[in-house]
Amino acid sequence: MPANRPNKPDLRFESPLRRVRVLDPATATLVAGSPMPRGTAYIGDHLLVNRTSNDGDLLPRLESIAAAYDWRLAEPKDARRPVVRRLADDEPPIGARVLELSPVPGRAVRPPDAWDLLQAARAELGREAVRSVGLDHVLSLAAVGSDPFHSGDPFHSGDPFHSGDPFHSGDPFHSGDASALSSYLWAGHGGRQPVALTAPPPAARTGTSYRPVVAVLDTGCGSHPWLDPVVNGSVTLGTHPIGYTDSATAPEEHPDIVGPLDGSLDPLTGHGTFIAGLIHQACPQAEILSWRIVQADGMIVESELVDCLTDIAELVRRNAVGEPDGRRIDVLNLSMGYYHETAADALFDTTLYALLELMGECGTVVTTSAGNDATTRLRFPAAFAPWTDGGGTPLRTDCLPVLSVGALNPDDTDALFTNTGAWVSAMRPGAGIVSTFPKLDAGGQAAAHTVVDGRVRESIDLDDFASGFAVWSGTSFAAPVLAGQIAARIAELATGPTSTVDDSIARAWKAITDTTAIGP
């Protein structure tokens, strides 16, 4: 076994996969007068409730509706659900509660389903009464070939995302036919593969002493000579860790966790390290904060993402108001998202946006990936961006925006897979792009191997990343390119430490305008 290939740990992490439901519009429970829902994925036995709801009777009323199905609805007593105060003392804090559904003891019932309960509550109590209640969605990363919506999971069974989806219609991975779209999945056409890079490490720009901070919430970051001096993966909220911290389940450290003993490189391995490398290339002087919210199976549960973002928002809030243990974050990158089932009717919980808005008020720009489904359908949190046609979230001079980013080909044309629409703020390189990768080797072997004159001679081993660099494609990688560019411009504009939050926001707005032409 090569020295750089770690032994696969004997581990079993708890995956939410068995609890995931796919909402199929053809069979979904409907409410008279409401638009037809669209497909999405969610945790079947969870409801997510915005803590800003001041209706003290809401939970008992939901419990009563659940009882009619012989289901029990309760909030777990041992779960830590963080909250963050807003800047104005008279406004309620931000956070989410998770309510779990389970069968009533002693009864044989059909599996609890959060969508059915939510629709029943809307019908009985009215839509406005339960506006603070929503599904606990499942998000995916936006790298071509590493998306759980595209790799052998329950989303392929009766999932509307795969009926008429160009990634699955005419895709050789799904139907045996050639497709221009699916070519991005193949090594040599923009799919993940090792490359050799002889360029020197990026050098910090001269003329500025300001060191911007860019945070990444992703699969974590593996060890790499370029990144070890600039990436900090140990930032906590006081003594409380943020995200997953067990190294035994880290995709950036163990290349083969998903699929017992199959020897294959997991689809998401290297994702966070690749993103960190793109930020470092665009802004070498940036400090990169890395937290892990994604397990090796690719599942991102909305409630867990909200909890992590609540902790991160508390860090920047403390910094903004001068409290101890705060951290300045100039840019936060989120290369993930989901499609909401009732976005057109605005029947979605606002907890996620409230957290991103608070960060914007504290001086943090949020960059997000638009998605890889070649669609104009709204994908969140990217669709929280201000829209180029004047719609979406209104621009504010006192709050930095969410920015959504689509992917360009190497020739600056739009990548065939990228999502697009008025809700996409900017386009950046994201297809066939080169960045850092953990020095890992999985079970695949070179197609040809021999020894000539005592030297090994072989074809490229497509899962041996001993070079420490890779090529990959996806809007996952377009977003951190913009994040790094904004951070670099912030550093150029800085004349010294920022004295106030207003100064930080004004400088960041200037950086956004200079790099995207978006302005308040």
Model confidence at 455: pLDDT above 50: yes
Is 151 designated active site?
no
User: pLDDT by residue (tens digit) across 320-374?
Assistant: 999 999 999 999 999 999 999 988 777 667 899 999 999 999 999 999 999 999 9
Cβ contact 284:203 at 8 Å:
yes
Alpha helices in 199-250, H assignment, sequence order: none
Q: Domain for residue 395, yes or no?
A: yes
Closest CA to 271 of 16, 475, 32: 475
* Range list of β-strands (E), 113-256: 133-141, 193-194, 213-218, 231-232
C-beta neighbour count of 243 within 10 angstroms? 19
Q: Domain for residue 481, yes or no?
A: yes
The pLDDT assigned to 350 comes to 82
> Do strands 83-84 and 94-103 pair parallel, antiparallel, or not at all (unpaired)?
antiparallel
Whole-angstrom distance, CA of residue 56 vs CA of residue 72: 18
Range of the domain at 268: 211-516
Cα torsion 330, 336, 340, 346 to 10°: value is 10
Domain CATH for 225: 3.40.50.200
Element (H, E) at 402: strand 402-408
Helix (DSSP H) and strand (DSSP E) numbers for the chain = 7, 21
Model confidence at 180: pLDDT above 90: no
Q: Are residues 122 and 243 in the same domain?
A: no
Q: Are residues 484 and 384 in the same domain?
A: yes
Q: Domain for residue 181, yes or no?
A: no
Number of domains in the chain: 2
Q: Domain for residue 170, yes or no?
A: no
The pLDDT assigned to 87 comes to 92
Is 140 designated active site?
no
Query: pLDDT-based confidence at 223, cuts 50/70/90?
Result: very high
Q: Which amino acid is at 454?
A: G
Is 412 designated active site?
no
Q: Are residues 232 and 320 in the same domain?
A: yes
Report, in angstroms and rounded to the nearest whole number, the Rg of the chain calculated over CA atoms: 23
Q: Domain for residue 265, yes or no?
A: yes
Confidence (pTM): 0.90
Q: Which amino acid is at 520?
A: P
Which residues lie closer than 8 Å to 154 by C-beta, 6 or more apart?
17, 20, 22
Q: Which residue, 137, 154, 171, sits at the end of a domain?
A: 154
Q: Domain for residue 82, yes or no?
A: yes
Pick the catalytic residue from 46, 162, 271, 340.
271
Strand pairing partners for 213?
A: 287
Q: Which residue is it, tokens 């969870």? A: 46
Q: Which amino acid is at 66?
A: A
Pick the catalytic residue from 116, 218, 256, 349.
218
Whole-angstrom distance, CA of residue 320 vs CA of residue 123: 43
Query: pLDDT-based confidence at 172, cuts 50/70/90?
Result: very low
More confident residue, 175 or 213: 213
Cβ contact 30:36 at 8 Å:
yes
Q: Which residue is it, tokens 């066939």? A: 432
Cβ contact 357:86 at 8 Å:
no
Query: pLDDT-based confidence at 474, cuts 50/70/90?
Result: very high
Q: Are residues 235 and 148 in the same domain?
A: no
